Amino acid sequence: MAKYEYTLDGNMDDLLDRLHVDLTEGTPSATFEDGSDYFV
């Protein structure tokens, strides 16, 4: 299992965007199947 670390200096959207790109483009077997946006 991979360990993922990231220092959040901006907002949560920046982190989520980076995770999405890294996870879906980092391996040929990873795919994005569904997502949800939550606002508080």
Question: Which tens digits make up the pLDDT trace of 9-36?
Answer: 778 888 788 888 887 787 777 777 777 7
Q: Which amino acid is at 13?
A: D
pLDDT number for residue 1: 58
Distance CA 4, CA 40 (A): 25
Distance CA 20, CA 30 (A): 10
pLDDT number for residue 4: 67
More confident residue, 18 or 39: 18
Distance CA 5, CA 23 (A): 13
